[in-house]
Structure 1
Amino acid sequence: MSMVRLDLTERVAWITLDRPPLNVLNIEMLTELESVLTEVRQNREASVAVLSGAGEKAFSAGVDVAEHKPETLEQMLKAFHNVARKLVRLPQATVAAVDGVALGGALELVNVCDIPVASVRSRFGYPEIQLATFPPVAIVTLSTICGRTAACDLVLTGEMVSSADALRAGLVSRVFADNEYEGSLRELVAGLSAKSPAVLRLTAQT
């Protein structure tokens, strides 16, 4: 059964992480997500790609801790970094749509998208330090996003923050009311997809 759904509408690729209940990213799912991103990259019609999580609990609770063991760690890291690189290199404008929790590696994927948005109820965090590890992509990107002080606070404490705090820190660019989230997201995406595809792609890649 597929753990990543791809729905193509006019100029928009809707990518949905679908591994209930929390859309935790395991190696198989990351490999599937990489394949989907490759398909999206090759789609000349889509000028916007939206990454979201299925269900009401989570965008994703991060990578699967069960696969953070010696025999699978290298494969897990390779699969995760392949996905992060593919997201960064997508020619489409990328929107990360967070409704629920976005933790660890999943939040790192949010970090590399062009426009991250969230519902009010969403929560964010990098809990890796609680497991004696660290978020490798966030270490590279987070200072640019929210400044060194805020980046250190987020990564070194491992604490979860609210959507309001995430907005202030720059982890997301917009926060939508819970009961308006779906409509506001679609309005944003419709506005993006209505713009010149060539200019949108060029701008997203600069």
Structure 2
Amino acid sequence: MNFWMPVAKKFFVTSGRASGETKKGTVQEAFIKAHINQCNLVPVSSVLDPDAVQLSNPPTIPHSAITFCVMAEELGTKGCSIAAGVGWCYMRNKDGMVKKAYVVEDHGHKEERAVKETLMLSLIQMAEAENLMIYNPNNPSELLMNRKEWAEQQAALGKHFDGWKSPEREFLKYLEENASKFFRFEIKGWDKVPEDFGYVVAALVFVFDI
């Protein structure tokens, strides 16, 4: 028996935001700005082929095409802060024989910075759950410290923390300092929604070869 279980070897990321008088019109405008208004979007979970190639420009997608993606979205009203984003990274085991990639999403009535922090912490926890290490895709030998390793380093410097109980803000500062090497993001937000409704969307869209 044959099974069709495709693996996306390409992907692109996109985002859009809009504000307006109606919910549906605002959502549609944001989708147009993100170039996914013609798609029948199918949300999927967090697994990305580590060898998948990121496309710099979205391909031409046929009208009504079934389109698989990891998507974050948030709707808000006038004056509130909203943000949505996706983040992804690359992981490997100790000897580098096993490589994986994951993408996560976050959204809420909060600032873009808060979304970014949640994305990083989510990816860190996913790596720790599989005993994997996050690596720099441009330099696979360069690894990001997980919470336990970071806490041990701090203890060696005379600061005594305990893994998961380590000061969140200090660990986040370490992640932020290294974010450009180890994480990739697509985030969109409104600091203050300017009209009756505001909507933001960010997505990582999978592209399949035929």
TM-score tier by shorter-chain length is under 0.3
TM-score (norm 1): 0.25
Q: TM-score, normalised by structure 2?
A: 0.24
Higher relative contact order (CA 8 A, sep 6+): 2
Larger C-alpha radius of gyration, 1 or 2? 2
